[in-house]
Amino acid sequence: MPTAPAAIAAGLKGGAAPPKTVLVTGASRGLGRALVLELAKRGHVVIGCLRSAEKVKSLESELMAFTPNASSSSAAPPFKHFVADLDVRSDSSVKELAKLVVESGRVPDIIVNNAGTINKNNKFWQVPAEEFDMVIDTNVKGIANIMRHFLPLMIEKKHGIIVNISSGWGRSAAAEVAPYCASKWAVEGLTKSVAKELPPGLAVVALSPGVINTDMLTSCFGSSAALYQTPENWAPNAAQMILNFTVEDNGASLTV
């Protein structure tokens, strides 16, 4: 199974990846926003999903600078980028988005389940129930909702890649972020189990982004977060890697 560096190297050797339609959740800021803009810059059709009407307009404005390549495998001209106000915690809202992409002919080639949140640093027994629920509902149930409604569309197309953003803390543990660790361990387990159920032509991958200077890292590390690379510096390698995932990567746990 290709390693992360191998996937990137293969993509660089083969030149630019064929244009695709890519859906990214959590696209309002951080990794999601940087990834959406990087994919659009490369000529891919992007469907950005985020929870803010104001930020929808902002991202739409930024995407206007990038015109998708006409040869996209899932979108023929005059298709353009699409930004949706979506709360992944709402199963009914995800269902409506899935219906919309079918009606518009924009069934994604790749889905990046990036939407996520983290609890404030605290002993587990001091984390309020509402805060714990927010982490689980976003990080675990959000991914489940997307896969529940979009996997059947990919199965019908007989191809598709789903990338579930995990974390190093989904493969290890740390104090005071137990809800977050639990959610990312769940992402890893969910990914590996679903991978065993997929028909030929599809794959699901758990991808740790590495340690990146985002708002979530600042929540944990404070000012030390500034020592790590920015989402904008991270996005090119991440995009290259994601675009080059294949069915051979099904069930893998990889790191950018």
Catalytic site positions: 180
Eight-class DSSP state of 29: S
CA angle 125, 131, 136 (to 5 degrees): 100
Q: Decide: residue 73, CB within 10 A, 0-12 exposed, 13-18 middle, 19+ buried.
A: middle
Burial 178-210, CB ≥16 within 10 A → b, else e: bbbbbbbbbbbebbeebbeebeeebbbbbbbbb
Residues 6+ apart with CB under 8 A from 248: 1, 2, 203
Cβ contact 175:119 at 8 Å: no
The count of other CB atoms within 10 Å of the CB of residue 228 is 15
DSSP 8-state code for residue 97: H
Is residue 69 a contact partner of residue 46, using CB atoms and an 8 Å limit?
no
Task: Tell me which H or E stretch contains 82.
Answer: strand 82-85
With both helix axes pointing from N to C terminus, report the angle between 231-243 and 4-13 in degrees, rounded to the nearest 10.
Answer: 80
